[in-house]
Structure 1
Amino acid sequence: MATATTLREFRIPLAEIAQIPAAENATVRYLECHGDLAHLGLEYAGVSPLGKGGTEAAAAAAEPAPVGSPWCATLLSPALSLARLQQLLAFFAGRKWPVTAVDTLARRDDRTVLRFQLDAEPDFAPARHACLQLAEKLEADLVLQPGHSQRPPRLAGFDMDSTLIDAEVIDELAKITGIGDQVAAITEAAMRGELDFRQSFRKRMALLKGFSEQRLGEIATQLPIKGGAEQLLRALRALGCKTAVLSGGFTYFADYLQREKLPLDFIHANQLEFENGALTGGVIEPIVDGNRKRELLQQMAEELGLDPDRVIAVGDGANDIPMLNLGALGIAIHPKPKVRLEAPQAITHFGLDAALYLFGLNDRQIAALP
């Protein structure tokens, strides 16, 4: 029999939250702070962790407060206990990052998303690494970003394999031909940054010589879409943002995704070379590697008349790092370890649609998008 829980709101100074006695049975549902008192929504079983009953829980805010601080830290937690919130507040205090405002962007059963505005000027690289280390302890994502980047972008560049789709296409082709382990090992080395992408691409393509074009068409229809990809892309289109695939994979599959599955505006990927209805094993220049991805994204921004701070990139592999470091945000989604350490921002516990919180949107605003 499930234990009954109570959801109540407590209004106390933000600094005093860290002093509440530890309570394993208390879950944070929301936290709002725009003045002297924080509004803390706690769900708990049994006795109140604050020793008092609190008030009725408030409805979710229609929209977050405007961002006026130089930096924001967004916590995306699958299950946020009061103890973990206290750890986070102690982390900010220990690094002397004053919290000027807190907004709740999501308060669902499967996630609590809190955005903290910070009146600080941290050295970004070490600050980001400290946030990653704390995130592991909290079993959550903690994303540090400039305050001005908390707005929808105007151009978003996406890797395809393992980013928009939940597969590495070239590995899937290799499995069918019976050389899956051999090709997958090359792919993994390249994605970890241990092998030059251009070199690895040529090696893998040579091994796929003779693969039929007809079979490629069958595979395209079976590619699994990454969780949250469609939601994110449709939201970006509704927000007036152009989207582009910038992939070391193939135009053959990216074109199919654009035509049949996902609302994408531009495609830049590698072209397959055929002869007599089968792959030749050769490559067509220019190969879309990491540097090429960055060049293409920058070129598109210039053609659209956009400053870099209105551009974002999303990817997962080492060959995405150059474009992840180009614009306002570089979001690594379920990244390889090397990429998680080097990407400006990272999301590991949620799908692609969680990126919408980094644009300053809450669940009510997201749900209202056409």
Structure 2
Amino acid sequence: MREIVLINITGEDRPGLTSAITGVLVQDGVNILDMSQAVIHGTLSFGLLVEFNAAAQAAATCEAVRSTAESLGQQVRVSSMSEADYQRWVQAQGAGRHIVTLMSRKISADQVQRVSAITSAHGLNIEAIDRLSGRVALDAVADAQSKACLEFSVRGDPADPLALRAAFLNLSQELGIDIAFQEDSLFRRHRRLAVFDMDSTLIEAEVIDELAKAAGVGEQVSEITERAMRGELDFRASFKERLALLKGLDVGVLDEIGASLRLTEGTENLFAELKRLGYKTAILSGGFTYFAKQLQAKLGIDYVFANELEVVDGKVTGVAIEPIVDAQRKADLLTELAQREGLQMEQTIAVGDGANDLPMLALAGLGVAFRAKPLVRQSARQAISTLGLDGVLYLLGVREREGRG
């Protein structure tokens, strides 16, 4: 009668251990049903689920495994599994697989405990935890530029996905962290097109507000911009209203403002990594092409779609040139670019901060609200508010040890 046995080996990691253990099993022609190995700070955790043809064979071989492992300084635990338990384990492979990503400036035990508690409360089982961020020195201080990320691989399907998301969102706001919940699908690490809003996403400013300050109508335009980004005003109408207030602005101001614009934290690192990974990138912006082209040259962006700033006789006319890149136009452009590149929508990423970004965030395979207004953060499937823009790489499962800056 066949015997199913779980062998757990722990101890100081050392070269050749896996070969030595499996070498014992080879002698008896054992079938390996499952296998897992992990090392944390030099300590090994090695598990094997194996099938023997007979109980007598199992006892003898497991004793040989124990002897070999102990000679190498390891501890061994052997336990039997019934065929019924094994069948339940096999049937569980059809359960949903998801990824929970915890991002912070520094990871604390409280953050991990509360994230895992919510995960468990919604019927999900954590199967693996991996650190995606780089190693941190003991004397390192968490500051505005530090990054920390843990990725939880979980099994199961939440009974109420909206309630789970709300719980994660509330915890994110309470602790000042970011938590993402995604299906662990084939596409998660194989997306190929990333599109971005520009103002307050790739750059720290809303350019139209900076232009308005130069034109002496800064407060008036900023108030309209803020309401539009919160979703309180129609973007198209508010854009025309703000643009009209810039009539007569000298074109020389554009160069001054362009030179003063600052990239958001992590932008250069993100685009360098996306380029290394073979992504196509695009700016889909309700801002202006004049400034988007500067970013395109600096970051190596493939496509730019933004609004044209009409200038006549060296002065801004204040007239909007159609087509205006509004919320629907952004979503349409995302679809067009995916088709042009021969991609499915699941292979796309969209990142933005305003209400006019929501349609493209909803359409993309991965939609991320970046340092967004409350309405946008609550409506988008994923949000990053704590880290810089390169936090998007964590959502793709990219580890810093794989070549990130």
Give TM-score, length-normalised by structure 1.
Answer: 0.79
Return the match for 2:250 from 212, 225, 238.
212
Return the match for 1:99 from 122, 126, 134.
126
Moved over 6 A (4+): none
How far apart are residue 128 of structure 1 and its match?
Answer: 1.9
> Any conservation in 1 of the 2:350–2:367 contact (CA below 8 Å)?
yes
How far apart are residue 153 of structure 1 and its match?
Answer: 2.0
Instruction: Look up the match of 1:237.
Output: 275
Q: Quick one: which amino acid aligns to residue 252 of structure 1?
A: Y
* Structure 1, 121-130 or 94-103: larger mean CA deviation: 121-130
- Give me the CA root mean square deviation: 2.2
Instruction: Look up the match of 1:339.
Output: 376
Distance 1:231 1:38 in 2: 29
Return the match for 2:113 from 86, 91, 103.
86
User: SS of the counterpart of 2:227?
Assistant: helix
> Any conservation in 1 of the 2:285–2:330 contact (CA below 8 Å)?
yes
> Any conservation in 2 of the 1:272–1:283 contact (CA below 8 Å)?
yes
Instruction: Look up the match of 1:193.
Output: 231
* Structure 1, 161-170 or 102-111: larger mean CA deviation: 102-111
How far apart are residue 69 of structure 1 and its match?
Answer: 5.9
Instruction: Look up the match of 1:23.
Output: none
> Any conservation in 2 of the 1:258–1:264 contact (CA below 8 Å)?
yes
Pair 1:136-2:168 in alignment: no
Pair 1:278-2:315 in alignment: yes
Instruction: Look up the match of 1:326.
Output: 363
Q: Number of aligned pairs? A: 310
How far apart are residue 163 of structure 1 and its match?
Answer: 0.4
Distance 2:387 2:355 in 1: 20
Return the match for 1:351 from 370, 384, 388.
388
Distance 1:176 1:323 in 2: 31
Pair 1:175-2:213 in alignment: yes
Structure-to-structure mapping, 1:1-370, within 5 angstroms:
70-106=97-133, 107-108=135-136, 109=140, 110-122=146-158, 123-148=160-185, 149-259=187-297, 261-367=298-404
1:27-84: CA deviation from partner (whole Å, max 9, x where unpaired):
xxxxxxx96999599xxxxxxxxxxxxxxxxxxxxxxxxxx96210100122222233
Percent sequence identity over aligned pairs:
47
Instruction: Look up the match of 1:29.
Output: none
Q: Quick one: which amino acid aligns to residue 240 of structure 1?
A: G
1:204-227: CA deviation from partner (whole Å, max 9, x where unpaired):
010000111122122111111111
> Any conservation in 2 of the 1:230–1:263 contact (CA below 8 Å)?
no
Structure with the higher fraction of residues in helix conformation = 2
Distance 2:190 2:210 in 1: 34
Q: Quick one: which amino acid aligns to residue 97 of structure 1?
A: L
> Any conservation in 2 of the 1:152–1:241 contact (CA below 8 Å)?
no
Tell me, which stretches of 5 or more residues in structure 1 are unaligned?
1-9, 12-33, 42-67
How far apart are residue 141 of structure 1 and its match?
Answer: 0.7
Q: Cα–Cα, structure 1 residues 118 and 40, in superposed 2: closer, same or farther, change >3 Å?
A: farther
1:114-143: CA deviation from partner (whole Å, max 9, x where unpaired):
111111223443322221112223321111
Distance 1:85 1:73 in 2: 11
Tell me, which stretches of 5 or more residues in structure 2 are unaligned?
1-9, 12-34, 43-94, 141-145
Instruction: Look up the match of 1:56.
Output: none
Q: Quick one: which amino acid aligns to residue 103 of structure 2?
A: L
Distance 1:281 1:77 in 2: 43
Distance 1:245 1:36 in 2: 42
> Any conservation in 2 of the 1:243–1:266 contact (CA below 8 Å)?
yes
Give TM-score, length-normalised by structure 2.
Answer: 0.73
Distance 1:133 1:36 in 2: 35
Distance 1:206 1:126 in 2: 44
Instruction: Look up the match of 2:80.
Output: none
Distance 1:187 1:293 in 2: 18
Distance 1:215 1:229 in 2: 25
1:170-229: CA deviation from partner (whole Å, max 9, x where unpaired):
000111121111000000000000000001000001000011112212211111111111
